[in-house]
Amino acid sequence: MDLNYHHLRYFRAVADEGNLTRAAEKLNLSQSALSTQIRTLEARLGHDLFERVGRTLELTEVGRITLDHAARIFATGDELLAVLRRESADAPPLRVGALSTLSRNFQLGFLQPVIARGDTDLVLRSGQIEGLLADLAALTLDVVLTTEPPRPGSGEGFVAHRIAEQAVGLHGVPARVQHGSLRALLKAEPVIVPTESPIRTGFDALVARLGIKVRIAADVDDMAMVRLLAREGAGVAVAPSVVMTDEISSGVLQTAPFDLRIAETFYAITVARNFPHPLLAEVLPGMSEGGADATA
């Protein structure tokens, strides 16, 4: 037999009153009926919840543990009703998934409106796109940040909101980017490239057009590592400038003045819901109107 919500409600009333008679009056039940409900709950838990001390019922250790859990259960129930009625004063945590290779700087920029509010918790999770989209479909995530939209025909009601597009450049310590042409730079300097991504595909196409052979210093599946390797002078990084924001502004890294004609697009993936997280409309402008800049 599963736990009964009503049994917990009766138990909480007795715990609050410390007296079976007063609790029964408050619940508009007979004392014998309330006593039966408490005994049923005790039988289900396998422990006594109260001990009589004089005329007062006091909680046992198991009773105190049960009361603590009951309080959380009722609070969760109240939150559920508030969310469905859209009456909650405090928004629930915003649960964000991000592709493990995605720039941390970009993620921070996306989350800035929520961070600035200071009244909403964040749950951040990184991983591979298949797992993240599965969690989104199961409603355990509110939004997924990625650089590619879901494959057509995924059938889960996903909506891809195109939130930014940034040019991809070559970034390195000053000594590595001082070349007169793109061809000269790529022939002379080792490069740091992201693994299996639109950026890598675009870079391979660029190299093929130029008809040159480049030396790959590192093939990395984490943009944070791409940035660190560039800082250490291991090579010239192929990445959007947002990945290197701090290093570029401080002069540690410089961007070579060549147009690669490669761009990276950033998407926020949501799933069709009757009750989306209320803060999604702040981080995804236009979502409340159906998402003008979205693709199914």
Q: Which pLDDT tens digit goes with each residue over 146-180?
A: 988 887 766 668 889 999 899 999 999 999 999 99
- The pLDDT assigned to 134 comes to 87
Return the pLDDT at 291: 39
What is the pLDDT of the chain when averaged over all its residues? 86
Backbone angles phi, psi at 26, to 5 degrees: -65, -35
Pairing of strands 236-240, 143-146: unpaired
- Residue 290 clears pLDDT 50, i.e. is over it: no
Query: pLDDT tens digits, residue range 99-129?
Result: 888 888 889 888 888 888 887 788 899 888 8
Give the tokens for residue 50.
Answer: 């109260």
Q: Does residue 292 have a pLDDT over 50?
A: no
Across 49-56, average pLDDT: 89
Q: Is the pLDDT score of 189 beyond 60? A: yes
Least confident piece of the model among 5-14, 87-96, 217-226, 263-272: 87-96
Summarize the confidence of residues 18-41 as an average pLDDT.
91
* pLDDT of 140 over the 90 cut: no
pLDDT in tens, 191-221: 999 887 889 999 999 999 999 999 999 999 8
Residues contacting residue 283 through CB under 8 Å, at least 6 positions apart: 110, 111, 113, 114, 143, 268
CA distances from 235 to 161, 186, 191, 246, 258 (A): 34, 10, 5, 18, 16
Domains and CATH numbers, the chain: 5-85 (1.10.10.10), 94-158+275-295 (3.40.190.10), 165-264 (3.40.190.10)
Q: What is this structure's pTM?
A: 0.64
DSSP letter at 151?
P
* pLDDT at site 296: 43
Contact partners, residue 203, CB within 8 Å, separation at least 6: 168, 191, 193, 238, 260, 262
Element (H, E) at 188: helix 182-188
pLDDT at residue 285 tops 90: no
**Euclidean distance between CA atoms 134 and 269, whole angstroms:** 12
